[in-house]
Amino acid sequence: MEIKAVRLAPDMPSRKDQVYRFLCDYHDRYHSGPSLSAIAAACHTNKARVQDAIRKLEREKLVQRTPGKKGGTIPSRHHADMVLRELEARGYIINPPGTPLIDLDQDGRLVVSAGTVTNASLPPARPRAHGAA
């Protein structure tokens, strides 16, 4: 089954949105990014316009791009999943969501937290003036 991009229509805000929608659909199906040629063909445009749209999406942090890698442009919402799969492939054990995190407080005692990664053993960062050492 082929993934087809939605044709650009007057009610669509831009070519950028068309490219982004295609990138999301392609990644959901194949778990990788498409080539520029595939995006251009699906969006009925040329590679230069696709590159321009991808640059705009990258500036808006909607896509992650790995220059020089085939299929290296993926939607940002999938970037974390891709990194976790890569770590698992290398033999790392990934804790499932909701697993409590264990940390050390400033006195060296174990602290169990329910969500975000923290490092209580480090001193808080102090605000500095621009250019101050």
Q: What is the DSSP string of 79-107?
A: HHHHHHHHHHHTTPPPPPTTPPEEEE-TT
pLDDT value for 11: 64
Tokens standing for residue 130: 């621009």
Band (pLDDT 50/70/90 cuts) for residue 56 is very high
Instruction: Give the span between the Cα atoms of 18 and 131, in whole angstroms.
Output: 42
pLDDT at 94 over 60: yes
Residue 48: predicted pLDDT: 95
Q: 131: buried, middle or exposed (CB in 10 Å: 19+, 13-18, 0-12)?
A: exposed
Which residue type, as a one-letter code, is found at position 129?
A: A
Mean pLDDT for the chain?
77
CB 22 within 8 A of CB 3: yes
pTM beyond cutoff 0.85: no
DSSP for residue 6: P
The residue-averaged pLDDT of 43-64 equals: 91
pLDDT for res 87: 79
Is the model's pLDDT at 73 over the cut of 70?
yes
**Residues whose CB is less than 8 angstroms from the CB of residue 8 and which lie 6 or more positions away in sequence, other chains included:** 15, 18, 43, 44
When mean pLDDT is compared over 11-20, 34-43, 67-76, 77-86, the highest value belongs to: 34-43
Give 49's pLDDT tier (boundaries 50, 70, 90): very high
- Alpha-carbon span 117 to 133, nearest angstrom: 28
